[in-house]
Structure 1
């Protein structure tokens, strides 16, 4: 069943009104007909089963039949802070981070980011928002992740104080990885996780020291050096496997409950 995200104010009484790119997709690409069932998301996490009542070149009207008790979001919230990469790499990062369940994506400006070129590239933020939306449809997510404007490193430190756990993959770290972190935080209540990824040139040592002082876990992702666009995917996947819903555990279970269930 096809899924569409519709602004809450476009759902009036028991009908959803679809226009723009989604309408073109329904009318020209999918060629959906009146009477076909679709899923409607109101962009705030609520989903509904609907049936197409009318579709033409001007609009599609979907009659809402019932609210669906569907939630494809993880039990943990991952905030990806990505060192601004070159060229179009951010497209891939936004797409895959969305598929993996990241809640929020924020580019960061570290010492080795080429500010002039990369900030100019990131002015295309509307494109990244569209990429996140399309990835949400494909992956059947319930909530569209936010794509934020670039954040200076100093302002990042303030944002990180909101996190329950901070992970920083670093190429010079050896022997301490995700498995070690999971053991060390076994007695902590973890909900919000910040993952900080350096740009192509990596982090400066003084940046790593500042993050350590803030309580971040500096980790290795293995003996091979990963590209900046790969490191975020790997770290997100590993922590989603250990604490989230990629490991087969119910997303309704909290972290400590999951640990208990593993030992049974």
Structure 2
């Protein structure tokens, strides 16, 4: 039985993090490494990814490797999983994080933009989860953590992002479905649903301010955006022995937004 001091210890484990070169993925990856996990960071931004891997390895003393992978290509995903297992021995945790949004009024959403959002936010999440799960099912253990969004729980306003909202709602139910299918075979599958976060992509908007930022903060009970590092605890919890009876859950990290 685990004690209070080792519940969150990830020593001896390996985590694969997609979209891990920067932003929320990198922040959550750092949390895992800080608690002892070795890392495989996968992304398409090679210069940023290589730099992030080197800096994380130096800061944490863990093995951190960067892998180029277009997660929208199932063949590349399968190759990525094979390479990570060959290089690092196993995958204990999958942090399935790559995603995007396109703001566009629903009546104007093009087929190309719809497919671009669904292709990365849903199809790629499915392909990565399926490929990693095949490895985990052979071992009889593993934790899969999908990055959802509070946008999969509520429709955010005032921005128009129906495709993003729909994709994240689908990720949440895909998470629950996978959790039910694999629960008796040793796999846990959960999702993290972030609220408004101050990332590289949104930092400029927050610094500039304006009516939309004011509205976001007003509708968030904590009256501020989250910082990327504030997701790390949720990722560590779901990856660790602290959450061994947790599967099929969508953990909101949103400053109370979806509770209001």
Normalising by structure 1, what TM-score? Answer: 0.36
- Give 1 or 2: higher helix fraction: 2
- Give 1 or 2: higher strand fraction: 1
